[in-house]
Amino acid sequence: MIKDYLSIIGTQIHQHDDGNILAVASDVIIDTDTGKIEGLWVKSLTLPLTNAVLRTSDIIEWKSKIYIKDDSVISESDDLINITEILEKEIMIVGNNVENKEGRYLGSVYDFDFDTKNLKLRQIYTEKKFIGLFGYQRRIFSFNSIIKIKKSAIIVEDKTEIKEEIIEPVILESPAVT
């Protein structure tokens, strides 16, 4: 199933056996080197955790709600080594600028989507802002077009080229007088 970032914020996380709600998804943790969704920031409703994380490997089923074994798979982010390494990079996807290889600004990411089966980033959605409010020039870039995800920008292979037509001046010759 394809999910986008904006729609999963607030998704309920339930215990698989009895359906009790355990937490609510509040953000996504992505390994920017591989594009894999490694975890979710969650607001635990059953545990007194301040930086609660659910590893995606602990998800049993992901439909309109997320199902896990129980709240024992929800941990503090500092307790999970691979999650800590990802977080130390401090690289965000949503809000990050997108540029082509030449450094031309193409917009900033306002959403992305991924497949809940393989948990891989599929596409990023970008737009430019006019006066910080109005979005325009919306574009979608596939994960395959991403060259590098850095803290300062996501570098993409921009397959659309703006071609300028050069018009040669036409010199009209006057008709020959006979």
What CATH number is associated with residue 139?
2.30.30.240
> Does residue 11 sit in the same domain as residue 82?
yes
What is the arithmetic mean of pLDDT over 57-84? 92
Q: How confident is the model at residue 133 (pLDDT cuts 50, 70, 90)?
A: confident
pTM, to two decimals: 0.81
Which of these three, 67, 88, 109, is where a domain ends? 88
> Does residue 119 sit in the same domain as residue 150?
yes
Q: How confident is the model at residue 52 (pLDDT cuts 50, 70, 90)?
A: very high
Which of these three, 47, 69, 88, is where a domain ends? 88
Q: How many domains does the chain have?
A: 2
Per-residue model confidence (pLDDT) at position 173? 63
> Does residue 15 sit in the same domain as residue 51?
yes
> Does residue 115 sit in the same domain as residue 53?
no
Higher pLDDT residue, 160 or 10? 10
Residues 6+ positions from 46 with CB-CB distance below 8 Å: 22, 23, 71
Per-residue model confidence (pLDDT) at position 174? 59
Q: How many helices (H) and strands (E) does the chain have?
A: 2, 14
> Does residue 77 sit in the same domain as residue 149?
no
Structural domain including 43 reads 2-88
- Secondary structure element (H or E) that encloses residue 83, with its range: helix 81-88
* Furthest C-alpha separation in the chain: 102
Paired with 55 in beta bridges are 39
